[in-house]
């Protein structure tokens, strides 16, 4: 499982729903690719809920970083409430996202750690209402909210085309962010993650010796955080960033089946070598209500 409490040094990445009626509306297959996201979001607005399961992983120079792998599931309810839970790989779920409610998942199962978070959309923004204490300040589940991913994707600068050879009864949209949008997106994510793990440094002139020692340790941790932030920002400035999404759609119902993202970063590494990172996520939707 991913270490949910830390951002790895030297990496930048570690850091939709029922059918539309066809009266006055065309299906996805009858629209240009660039308009399909709007139809999918409209389709999602018409559903009461959906379940989903997905995975995320970081690869450096083609090799998966084991502790970066995260398997998760969750549910969307009432259009604006999302619950996400970490799962185990290869079917070894502490509890199935489709079968278990928040209470049983929060309690966990045996020795398997289970992480969770609940989010609600209020005044147009997603707000985290509850999260597993084990997440600490860093919460990767928050960024994996599939509703927010689609909503943000709809608004971003991008080029949308249709992939050839889609399975019968489906359509796959290829959505590539502009270079500026890809950089802006990653920069915002990185800033949010770094802020979440920023340590506090407080010291008082008349504080007891043990308190001063703790304050000095906190001050040192803050200095290390600042150094780390500077290093990550430098690498971000030097990196070539490319972000591509693939959205598999049911064109009859205007509903998403699968959303995949692939963010690739290339930047100078040690001894003049080039380092390539790929952060990949995939989420499958099922059980529309």
- Decide if 261 contacts 244 (C-beta within 8 A): yes
Q: What pLDDT score does 113 carry? A: 52
Instruction: For 54-116, give the secondary structure using H, E and C.
Output: EEEEEEECCEECHHHCEEEEEEEECCCEEEEEEECCCCCCCCCCCCCCHHHHHHCECCECCCE
Q: What tokens were used for 209?
A: 């010796």
Q: What pLDDT score does 103 carry? A: 32
Q: What pLDDT score does 209 carry? A: 60
Q: Which among 200, 81, 60 is positioned nearest to 129, based on CA atoms?
A: 81
Coil/strand/helix, residue 92: coil
Q: What pLDDT score does 288 carry? A: 92
Q: What pLDDT score does 3 carry? A: 43
- CA-derived radius of gyration, the chain: 21
Per-residue pLDDT of the chain in tens (289 residues, 90 and over written 9): 444 334 333 444 433 222 223 233 344 444 577 677 788 888 888 888 999 999 999 999 999 888 788 899 999 998 889 999 888 775 454 443 333 433 333 333 344 456 788 999 988 888 888 777 655 556 678 889 999 999 899 889 999 998 887 778 888 999 999 999 999 998 888 887 777 777 765 544 455 666 767 777 777 777 776 777 777 777 888 889 999 999 999 988 999 999 999 999 998 877 778 889 999 999 999 999 8
Q: What pLDDT score does 30 carry? A: 47
Q: Which among 230, 137, 153 is positioned nearest to 192, based on CA atoms?
A: 137
Q: Which among 63, 64, 83 is positioned nearest to 75, based on CA atoms?
A: 83
- Cα distances (Å, whole numbers) of residue 41 to 17, 38, 46, 164: 8, 5, 9, 22
Distance from C-alpha of 42 to C-alpha of 68, rounded to nearest angstrom: 33
Tens of pLDDT, residue by residue over 94-129, are 443 333 433 333 333 344 456 788 999 988 888 888
Q: What pLDDT score does 257 carry? A: 95
- Cα distances (Å, whole numbers) of residue 95 to 107, 114, 182: 10, 9, 35
Q: What pLDDT score does 9 carry? A: 37
The pTM of this model reads: 0.75
CA 84 and chain centroid, separation: 11
Delineate the domains of the chain, giving CATH numbers in brackets. 28-178+232-286 (2.50.20)
């Amino acid at each position: 499982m991913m270490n949910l409490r830390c951002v790895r040094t030297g990496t930048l990445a570690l850091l939709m729903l029922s059918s539309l009626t066809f009266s006055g509306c065309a299906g996805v297959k009858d629209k240009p690719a660039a308009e399909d996201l709007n139809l999918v979001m409209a389709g999602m607005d018409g559903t009461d809920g959906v379940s989903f399961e997905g995975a995320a992983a970081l690869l450096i120079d083609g090799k998966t970083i084991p502790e970066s792998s995260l398997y998760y599931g969750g549910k969307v309810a009432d259009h604006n409430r999302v619950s996400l839970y970490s799962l185990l790989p290869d079917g070894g779920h502490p509890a199935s996202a489709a079968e278990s409610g928040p209470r049983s998942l929060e309690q966990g199962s045996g020795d398997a750690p289970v992480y969770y978070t609940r989010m609600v959309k209020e005044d147009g923004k997603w707000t985290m209402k509850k999260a597993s204490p084990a997440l600490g300040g860093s919460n990767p589940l928050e960024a994996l909210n599939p509703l927010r991913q689609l909503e943000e994707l709809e608004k971003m600068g991008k080029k949308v085309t249709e992939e050839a050879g889609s399975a019968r009864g489906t359509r796959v949209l290829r959505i590539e962010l502009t270079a500026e949008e890809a950089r802006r997106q990653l920069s915002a994510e990185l800033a949010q993650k770094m802020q979440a793990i920023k340590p506090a440094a407080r010291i008082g002139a008349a504080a007891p010796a043990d308190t001063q020692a703790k304050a000095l340790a906190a001050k040192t941790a803050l200095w290390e955080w600042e150094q780390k932030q500077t290093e990550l920002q430098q690498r971000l400035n030097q990196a070539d960033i490319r972000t591509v999404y693939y959205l598999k759609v049911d064109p009859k119902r205007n509903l998403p089946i699968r959303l995949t993202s692939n963010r690739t970063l290339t930047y100078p590494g040690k001894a003049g070598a080039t380092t390539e990172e790929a952060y990949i996520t995939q989420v499958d939707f099922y059980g529309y209500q």
